[in-house]
Structure 1
Amino acid sequence: MRFGFIAHPTSPPLKRYVKMLDLVQRSSHDFQSGYSRDLWSRSNLVPFMNFDRVVSANGSEAKGEVRYLPLTAEEMLKDPSGSLRRVIEGAEIYASEGVDIVGLGGFTSIVGRRGADVAAASPVPVTSGNSLTAYAGYRALCQILDWMELRPNDHRVAIVGYPGSIALVIARLLLEEGLELDLVHRPGASAEDMLEHLPERWHNRVRLSGDIGDFYSEDRLFIAATSAGGIIDPSRLLPGSIVIDVALPRDVSEHDAATRDDILIVDGGCVTASDKVRMGGESLNLSIKQQLNACLAETMILALEQRAEIYSIGRTLETEKVLAIGEIAQRHGFAPDPLASYGRRIEPAHVASLRRYHCNGHRLNGGAPTPSPSAGDLRSREHHDTALRFRRHINPYLADFLQMLHCDRVFEKAKGAVLTDTEGRDYLDFVAGYGCLNLGHNPPAITGALQDFLSGDNPNFVQYVSFPKQTSLLAERLSARVGGGLERVFFSNSGTEAVEAALKLARAASPHDRIVHVQNSYHGKTLGALSVTGREKHQRFFRPLVPGVEAVPFDDLDAIENALRGGDVAALILEPILGEGGVLVPSDGYLKSARTLCDRYGAFLILDEIQTGMGRTGRFLASEWEEVQADILCLSKSLSGGLMPIGATLTRADIWDRAYGTSDRFLAHSSTFGGGNMAATAALATLDAFEDGAIIANALDVGESLRTRLREVAVNFPFIGEIRGKGMMLAVAFESDFSGAVAAGAHEFATRLPGDWHMTWKFLPDQIRQNLLDAMRHFEGTLGEMFCMRFVTKLAQDHAILTFLTANSSTVIRLQPPLILTHEQAGRFATAFEETCRDMSTFLN
């Protein structure tokens, strides 16, 4: 059976969108067949979408077409009789083309006594689609109540747009469920007249008003289905309010969602087709399936049912027919879920988080106590609440990013190299706090030392009014451990603070102020550290940065010498291995030669061992591999076993004295929380853990074994560019090439379209062409990053192994597990890595 559908744009921008499509379609015909007057003549309806062959979940088939009446609701209201004539003309055109049933979308079903005049004049049956629209709105409210675990009879629901056909039948459905309703009708209407639309047995369960303002202060659940739009003022809604907005145009006035994140506007009246439904012409799993307007879906479903009959016309819709079309829709694979808000899918967690506004203690509006939740329900709710708090109060974009990449977990237990989430699933952690957890999660020696410190009523922040005991001992122990005469230590709270202290120290101790660093380096995101972080992506929003800074290429000793040759450089800052730059290991002798150049030209050598230190590469410091001593050394991350914030900047006494060795200078750089005794206690216990060398030896043994195994796997998969690193600081570099893909796709598309679309490209303005080329190139780069990120996702989802990307390169996966990793755990990763490579090997470059 064939169906036709008459839609209309619900806003001026959508009207312009239809206008754009019309211009493109006519141009395509012009390119193919040449100019004709008919082609460029006025058209009553604009072709929009062709459903050549719809196959439902149960195998039924139909085909049809959607055309737009290019009038907004406001334009139709200004000329209802003219609009009615155009709708009837559209139905007649469809009939002349052999269509069996015509659907009237949105406002086209309102004109003419809610479609009755169209039905009377049309040569084929018509339906407004309002029955399925009402069903979708009704089921959306049921779903909301279920997610929030609310009993329907404990909450009043306000229905806006009564007694319109959709609002009226939803009211009847809810009254049959036992709910009490507040019905908002048009201003000035008689309450007695309004009650006539409902059986007398329900009159005592409804309140009526012509002013929605009467219910803002009481109700938190709304269903809106007017034909006017803009009825509900979101700023007046109570916290926790949920509006099922069925109306087109929307009944909720435009608002900034960020200003009211304590309310939820649900796109009512929509259904989504399941994976079993085929819309015809699908490619790349892309087709128009999600958030279909139910008025269109009802037309489609009636055609699938081979029912060419008038179905949803007039003010009064029968509840039985509404429930029936909903059941039929489900059978064909169309359902009102997933719910969405302004087109974005709604997570049950978000809805459940609003429950607190609807509850009174453990009772709902004075009702009976709710059943005690199970342990699993409590864990799930804790996950949901945590996700919402993070989204609302910390970083909503990061929340979306984590959700998109399936990283939106909440961990509730951590031990060794294993994290356990709220669902009870154990994950092998190969991120380990980006190098903070070299001893693993909650190492007993460190947690025990901290517990002893706290139970002993020890003083913590006394460093500027006394000699802090544990901090002083830590400074001594650190100086002895790193050697090289680095006997003065400044303590801070993080790696970036350690770098800031190093840069300030170098400038204060040197007659010069220039700093040289390496391109693609990463030293932190405070302003000074950011200035020597070699990635424009991190720097661009914070310019101007600290002046007097110069970048040189990585692993380029000639470039370093050229930068230092003038003798006016205060310091060269280096990472022994570029960590966030992609775990890049320099050539043998690089650090030693850099040391020689600094000595030759009078510059201090600052070594940033924040990631590479504390045993990560198989030595306590990575610089020990070349027996290089820094003038200034930065440590952090695992210095406290990952349990306390701490950073340390070490230097020689003579450098410190030049910088701060006077009465005016000795407190020129300080930190309120840096140098506390409790953080020092954790760091002392960490140094104890490294004392016998077993952990460092394990890092080298297991790390090198893992690297060898991964390289054996990578040989078979060309999209793995390199397995690199040292000890247990490893990385997988991907080379999944998408260069030229978009351009080739655009060329193919232009070639296959009717006519000569290459001519259109030829005559685009130069700036537009350049912008499109730039966009293509950037998008192709993003595809490579997407491939890499999907690898991360598969490792986590399929194998419960956590990895992530390096900060400066989104095509490199970091592997930095705790140094206590066993050979068995490393083998588990290698097996998972090989299986994931195999799964991702559809294209071998």
Structure 2
Amino acid sequence: MQGIKQPAAAGKESRKFAFLVHLRSYREDLKHIARPLGWLPDQFYHYTLGKRPLRPFLWSNVAIGADGDEASGSIIMVPYSGRQLLERPRQMLPIVQDAVDLAVSKGATMIGLGGLISPVTLGGKLVAGRATYGVTNGNAFTAVTIFRRLQRLLDEFGGFRPTIAVVGATGSVGSLLCKMLAAQERDARYLLVARNARKLDSFCHEVSRQYTSVSMSTSVRMDDVRHADIVVLVTSDAGSLLNPSHLRENCIVLDATQPRNASRLITTLRSDIQLIDGGLVSVPSLRTNKIGRLGLPSGISFACMAETMLLSLSGHNADFSIGNPGLEHAEAIGQMARKHDHLGFKTAEDHTFGKPQMVRLPEMVC
């Protein structure tokens, strides 16, 4: 695979991985350790714990295979919220490095970065480049998984030409997703949304120059997604919250952000909107305890964690998705998923906020 460093073949004894996560909510996550911890408001934890350094710790053990013998690893908790990570990146980086060191001490040779740990480390650049372990931000398989679900939606749309908005288009997931969509040259219009206008225009020009038949426009305003039939959320900007007022009638939303950038009000106030959790993968062979599911049903994984597991299963112990992954990374991780499809690694059935959901197409395209 051109452009991707190929490590020496690894035996099963070296197929150990770790996945770094942060708290989505103090209340929701800590109650799984002890129920009374869920009785206190998040503000209490932010005030009392935010002023003192907390060390990462083992959250859960993980194994893959019918007997858990294909690969094994651990989930390491960075005990801060996503908001704290983004607001204090300099203070958080040494703690993330501590989490990496803890993972290595447990034998991990492939380390995945979950949630907002990736942007805090510049897509993994600040913790990569080591000889003893590989790092991945998991964003190649996340983009592949979203792309596959979008392909199914476009097939179901038939002759209708939808407008697809990608919010976070210049980010690690969004940039790869846009390139994959453009390369397919489907009959669709694309609205690329990001905060940095100069970077966004440059990226759009780059993609449009390579794929001249693709219709692409740009915006720095979340309000403009109301022109879209499908909205894909792949931004790490905690301030880019998608509200019911942003969406046109019968819109379909794929939210692949963690923490969520789609407001729960969408499901309560807009019965016409279909909200799908993007970037979820079915891995029936995944073995872990309840807290190791990270708020998902049994046998379901976030694609970023699944990428970490696939690399470990494939004996790939070098850096993989660092910064913005390219089409070659999408092809490589797709091949790994096909090779290990006896263990799962297929796009999951649709969920909404972690719960199974039957998605119906809008009347205009049925």
What is the identity, as a one-letter code, of the residue corresponding to 2:281? V
Larger fraction in strand: 2
What is the identity, as a one-letter code, of the residue corresponding to 1:233? N
Q: Quote the Cα distance in structure 1 between the aligned partners of 2:286 and 2:102.
A: 27
Contact 1:15 1:70 in 2 (8 A): no
Q: Quote the Cα distance in structure 2 between the aligned partners of 1:256 and 1:42.
A: 36
Alpha carbons of structure 1 residues 192 and 303: separation in structure 2 relative to 1, 3 Å: closer
What is the identity, as a one-letter code, of the residue corresponding to 1:160? V
Aligned to 1:584: none
Aligned to 1:17: 31
- Aligned-residue offset at 1:152: 7.8
Equivalent pairs, count: 328
Aligned to 2:248: 238
Residue 8 in 1 paired to residue 17 in 2?
no
| Counterpart among 217, 224, 229 of residue 207 in structure 1 | 217
Residue 279 in 1 paired to residue 287 in 2?
yes
Alpha carbons of structure 1 residues 311 and 162: separation in structure 2 relative to 1, 3 Å: same
Alpha carbons of structure 1 residues 128 and 19: separation in structure 2 relative to 1, 3 Å: same
| Counterpart among 184, 187, 195 of residue 193 in structure 2 | 184
SS in 2 for 1:169: helix
Q: Quote the Cα distance in structure 2 between the aligned partners of 1:339 and 1:191.
A: 30
What is the identity, as a one-letter code, of the residue corresponding to 2:22? H
Residue 338 in 1 paired to residue 349 in 2?
yes
- Aligned-residue offset at 1:317: 2.8
Q: Quote the Cα distance in structure 1 between the aligned partners of 2:82 and 2:289.
A: 31
Residue 154 in 1 paired to residue 161 in 2?
yes
Identity of aligned residues (%): 25
Q: Quote the Cα distance in structure 2 between the aligned partners of 1:327 and 1:253.
A: 34
Q: Quote the Cα distance in structure 2 between the aligned partners of 1:152 and 1:311.
A: 38
Aligned to 1:118: 127
Aligned to 2:103: 94
Contact 1:161 1:224 in 2 (8 A): yes
Alpha carbons of structure 1 residues 219 and 280: separation in structure 2 relative to 1, 3 Å: closer
Aligned to 1:66: 75
What is the identity, as a one-letter code, of the residue corresponding to 2:264? E
- Aligned-residue offset at 1:187: 4.7
- Aligned-residue offset at 1:12: 4.0
SS in 1 for 2:129: helix
SS in 1 for 2:128: helix
- Aligned-residue offset at 1:209: 1.0
Q: Quote the Cα distance in structure 2 between the aligned partners of 1:9 and 1:94.
A: 17
Q: Give the number of the structure with larger relative contact order, counting CA–CA contacts within 8 Å between residues 6 or more apart.
A: 2
Alpha carbons of structure 1 residues 195 and 242: separation in structure 2 relative to 1, 3 Å: same
Matches within 5 A, 1:787-806: none
Cα deviation, 1:310-356, whole Å, max 9, x if unaligned, reads 12111233242353344345343121121111122122xx413x2x1
Q: Quote the Cα distance in structure 2 between the aligned partners of 1:288 and 1:257.
A: 19
Matches within 5 A, 1:20-35: 20=34
Matches within 5 A, 1:405-424: none
Matches within 5 A, 1:109-508: 109-120=118-129, 123-146=132-155, 149-151=156-158, 154-179=161-186, 180-189=189-198, 191-198=200-207, 200-202=209-211, 205-216=215-226, 218-229=227-238, 230-255=240-265, 257-274=267-284, 277=285, 279=287, 289-318=298-327, 319-328=330-339, 330-347=341-358, 350-352=359-361, 354=362, 356-358=363-365
- Aligned-residue offset at 1:143: 2.9
Contact 2:281 2:346 in 1 (8 A): yes
- Aligned-residue offset at 1:18: 6.2
Cα deviation, 1:760-808, whole Å, max 9, x if unaligned, reads xxxxxxxxxxxxxxxxxxxxxxxxxxxxxxxxxxxxxxxxxxxxxxxxx
RMSD: 3.0
SS in 2 for 1:140: helix
Cα deviation, 1:232-263, whole Å, max 9, x if unaligned, reads 22233112111110111212123152321100
- Aligned-residue offset at 1:43: 5.3
Alpha carbons of structure 1 residues 122 and 5: separation in structure 2 relative to 1, 3 Å: farther
Q: Quote the Cα distance in structure 2 between the aligned partners of 1:131 and 1:187.
A: 22
Aligned to 2:9: none
SS in 2 for 1:99: coil
Alpha carbons of structure 1 residues 131 and 209: separation in structure 2 relative to 1, 3 Å: same
Cα deviation, 1:668-712, whole Å, max 9, x if unaligned, reads xxxxxxxxxxxxxxxxxxxxxxxxxxxxxxxxxxxxxxxxxxxxx
Q: Quote the Cα distance in structure 2 between the aligned partners of 1:23 and 1:44.
A: 18
What is the identity, as a one-letter code, of the residue corresponding to 2:28? L
Q: Quote the Cα distance in structure 1 between the aligned partners of 2:101 and 2:35.
A: 23
If the length of structure 2 is used for normalisation, what is the TM-score?
A: 0.80
- Aligned-residue offset at 1:200: 0.8
Alpha carbons of structure 1 residues 202 and 11: separation in structure 2 relative to 1, 3 Å: farther
Matches within 5 A, 1:572-591: none
Aligned to 2:12: none
SS in 2 for 1:70: strand
Alpha carbons of structure 1 residues 325 and 162: separation in structure 2 relative to 1, 3 Å: farther
Q: Quote the Cα distance in structure 2 between the aligned partners of 1:87 and 1:253.
A: 28
What is the identity, as a one-letter code, of the residue corresponding to 1:244? L
Q: Quote the Cα distance in structure 2 between the aligned partners of 1:95 and 1:44.
A: 15
SS in 2 for 1:271: strand
Q: Quote the Cα distance in structure 1 between the aligned partners of 2:202 and 2:266.
A: 38
Q: Quote the Cα distance in structure 1 between the aligned partners of 2:288 and 2:225.
A: 46
Q: Quote the Cα distance in structure 1 between the aligned partners of 2:333 and 2:152.
A: 17
- Aligned-residue offset at 1:7: 0.8
Aligned to 2:48: none
Alpha carbons of structure 1 residues 281 and 17: separation in structure 2 relative to 1, 3 Å: closer
Aligned to 2:90: 81
Alpha carbons of structure 1 residues 181 and 331: separation in structure 2 relative to 1, 3 Å: farther
Aligned to 2:43: none
Aligned to 2:10: none
Alpha carbons of structure 1 residues 105 and 190: separation in structure 2 relative to 1, 3 Å: closer
What is the identity, as a one-letter code, of the residue corresponding to 1:320? E
Cα deviation, 1:35-89, whole Å, max 9, x if unaligned, reads xxxxxx97521322112x42169x9611111121011111011211221211122
Cα deviation, 1:628-686, whole Å, max 9, x if unaligned, reads xxxxxxxxxxxxxxxxxxxxxxxxxxxxxxxxxxxxxxxxxxxxxxxxxxxxxxxxxxx
Q: Quote the Cα distance in structure 2 between the aligned partners of 1:211 and 1:90.
A: 36
Cα deviation, 1:393-444, whole Å, max 9, x if unaligned, reads xxxxxxxxxxxxxxxxxxxxxxxxxxxxxxxxxxxxxxxxxxxxxxxxxxxx
Alpha carbons of structure 1 residues 60 and 156: separation in structure 2 relative to 1, 3 Å: farther
Q: Quote the Cα distance in structure 2 between the aligned partners of 1:271 and 1:83.
A: 29
Matches within 5 A, 1:34-45: 44-45=55-56
Q: Which runs of 5+ in 1 are unaligned?
A: 25-40, 360-845
Larger fraction in helix: 1
Q: Quote the Cα distance in structure 2 between the aligned partners of 1:208 and 1:228.
A: 17
- Aligned-residue offset at 1:181: 1.1
Residue 49 in 1 paired to residue 94 in 2?
no
Cα deviation, 1:444-473, whole Å, max 9, x if unaligned, reads xxxxxxxxxxxxxxxxxxxxxxxxxxxxxx
What is the identity, as a one-letter code, of the residue corresponding to 1:295? C
Contact 2:142 2:304 in 1 (8 A): yes
Cα deviation, 1:580-599, whole Å, max 9, x if unaligned, reads xxxxxxxxxxxxxxxxxxxx
SS in 2 for 1:44: coil
What is the identity, as a one-letter code, of the residue corresponding to 1:253? S
Q: Quote the Cα distance in structure 2 between the aligned partners of 1:357 and 1:50.
A: 47
Q: Quote the Cα distance in structure 1 between the aligned partners of 2:351 and 2:269.
A: 19
Q: Quote the Cα distance in structure 1 between the aligned partners of 2:315 and 2:129.
A: 21
Alpha carbons of structure 1 residues 281 and 252: separation in structure 2 relative to 1, 3 Å: closer
Alpha carbons of structure 1 residues 358 and 234: separation in structure 2 relative to 1, 3 Å: farther
